[in-house]
């Protein structure tokens, strides 16, 4: 079997901290299973009556979890306690335009108990450090709202 490799290098990664490995079969109407067995799910096309999740939901979940980690990291650096009940509700849209399919996203961050200024500073710092935010910056429409 011949293998062709397509790469797109933008920045140099000096140290890999973790590699998530997932095998997908069947595309949007298939299944996804990680090599460590922790992820084993059915996939369904968005809006279908299928029993599985879809890539947009998985992306929203991954970004939200990562964003909370980035907020925790930045709050600690600013000597601010991140509220225990911090949440992120993410919405990832699959859409189209004249160039084909595309994504856009909204993150609704809830930081109860912080001042508006503290919350804004932590969210802005998180958006600058979160790997998902970095990967999407300049590539998709993103709106982040913050409630305190």
CATH number at residue 31: 2.20.25.10
**Does residue 16 share a domain with residue 76?**
no
pLDDT given at position 17? 96
Are 3 and 39 within one domain?
yes
The yes-or-no verdict on residue 1 having pLDDT over 80 is no
pLDDT of residue 102: 97
44 & 99 share domain: no
Which of the two residues, 135 and 3, has the higher pLDDT score?
135
pLDDT level of residue 59 (50, 70, 90 thresholds): very high
The pLDDT assigned to 147 comes to: 97
Strand order in the sheet with 100-110: 87-97, 100-110, 141-147
State residue 10's pLDDT score.
Answer: 81
Q: pLDDT tens-digit profile of 3-14? A: 888 888 788 999
Give me the domain span that covers residue 108. Answer: 55-146
What is the maximum alpha-carbon separation in the chain?
A: 59
Q: How far apart are CA 31 and CA 103, in angstroms?
A: 21
% the chain with pLDDT above 70: 100
Copy the structure tokens of residue 3: 């293998």
In this structure, the answer to whether residues 44 and 60 fall within a common structural domain is: no
pLDDT at position 107 over 90: yes
Mean pLDDT of 123-132: 98
pLDDT at 82: 96
Q: How many domains does the chain have?
A: 2
């Amino acid at each position: 079997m011949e293998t062709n490799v397509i790469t797109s290098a933008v920045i140099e990664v000096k140290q890999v901290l973790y590699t998530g490995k997932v095998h997908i079969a069947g595309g949007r109407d298939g299944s996804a299973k990680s090599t460590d067995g922790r992820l084993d799910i059915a996939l369904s096309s968005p809006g279908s009556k299928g029993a599985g999740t879809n890539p947009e939901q998985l992306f929203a979940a991954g970004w939200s979890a990562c964003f909370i980690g980035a907020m925790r990291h930045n709050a600690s650096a600013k000597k601010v306690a991140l509220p225990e009940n911090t949440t992120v509700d993410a919405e990832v849209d699959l859409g189209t335009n004249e160039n084909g399919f595309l994504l856009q996203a909204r993150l609704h961050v809830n930081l109860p108990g912080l001042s508006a200024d503290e919350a804004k500073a932590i969210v802005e710092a998180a958006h600058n450090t979160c790997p998902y935010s970095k990967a999407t910056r300049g590539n998709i429409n993103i709106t982040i709202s913050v409630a305190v």
